[in-house]
């Protein structure tokens, strides 16, 4: 059964709930994360859902606003730490557009411990996606697209599963 787990539904300045982000649990048990909120509260949100990092090898980041991208630095730190402890197998892919990729590279370089940052680019892959580009993953085909936001450059995506089911993320614009 495919399951959608909402980690937060709040706007940027929310204090009584977490910022908008979620993950999908697929039939093979793998997890696909989208955005990560604005800080290390993401670690708690994932903990209360019994999130198994080892089952998550792909995530998508829609745009570079604080409430979506800062938590990604914590995800990178967490996954890098697990890798360094021999508790994470394989690579972790973060799909995002060029602006977000640049932000994540810079923020990780500036804030992470050297041995954690060493994983970025080798085992933690910041993978740039272009408007309209498709990527074939074992569980689905991911097609990213520019939602034409007038604020920050923002990409959504469509996941197409082998059985025809489609799941679309439109980002956070009204
Ligand atoms: Zn936003």
**CB of 171 closer than 8 Å to CB of 154:** yes
Q: How far is the CA of 23 from the centre of ligand 1 (A)?
A: 18
Q: Is residue 135 part of a domain?
A: yes
**CB of 73 closer than 8 Å to CB of 47:** no
The total number of structural domains that make up the chain:
1
Sign of CA dihedral 96, 102, 103, 108: positive
Q: How far is the CA of 150 from the centre of ligand 1 (A)?
A: 11
Model pLDDT for residues 55-94, shown as the tens digit of each residue = 999 999 999 999 999 999 999 999 999 999 999 999 999 9
Q: How far is the CA of 24 from the centre of ligand 1 (A)?
A: 21
Model pLDDT for residues 103-125, shown as the tens digit of each residue = 999 999 999 999 999 999 999 99
- pTM of this prediction exceeds 0.85: yes
Cα(34)–Cα(95) distance, integer angstroms: 9
Q: Is residue 105 part of a domain?
A: yes
Q: How far is the CA of 89 from the centre of ligand 1 (A)?
A: 32
Cα(144)–Cα(169) distance, integer angstroms: 9
What pLDDT, on the 0 to 100 scale, is given for residue 174? 72
Q: Is residue 147 part of a domain?
A: yes
Q: Is residue 90 part of a domain?
A: yes
Q: How far is the CA of 62 from the centre of ligand 1 (A)?
A: 9
Q: Is residue 82 part of a domain?
A: yes
Q: How far is the CA of 25 from the centre of ligand 1 (A)?
A: 24
162: containing domain: 3-169
Mean pLDDT of 156-174: 94
Q: How far is the CA of 168 from the centre of ligand 1 (A)?
A: 17
Q: How far is the CA of 84 from the centre of ligand 1 (A)?
A: 32
Q: Is residue 174 part of a domain?
A: no
What CATH number corresponds to the domain at position 93? 3.60.15.10
């Amino acid at each position: 059964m495919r399951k959608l787990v909402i980690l937060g539904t709040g706007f940027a300045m929310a204090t009584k709930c977490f910022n908008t982000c979620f993950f999908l649990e697929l039939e093979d048990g793998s997890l696909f994360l989208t955005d990560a909120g604005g800080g290390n509260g993401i670690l708690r949100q994932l903990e209360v859902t019994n999130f198994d990092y080892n089952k998550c090898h792909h995530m998508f980041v829609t745009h570079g606003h604080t409430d979506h991208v800062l938590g990604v630095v914590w995800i990178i730190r967490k996954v890098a730490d697990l890798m360094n402890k021999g508790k994470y197998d394989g690579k972790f892919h973060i799909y995002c557009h060029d602006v977000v990729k640049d932000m994540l590279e810079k923020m990780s370089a500036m804030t992470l411990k050297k041995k954690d940052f060493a994983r970025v680019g080798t085992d933690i892959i910041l993978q740039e996606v272009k408007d309209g580009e498709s990527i074939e993953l074992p569980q689905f085909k991911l097609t990213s697209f520019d939602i034409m936001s007038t604020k920050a450059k923002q990409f959504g995506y469509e996941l197409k599963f082998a059985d025809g089911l489609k799941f679309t993320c439109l980002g956070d614009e009204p």
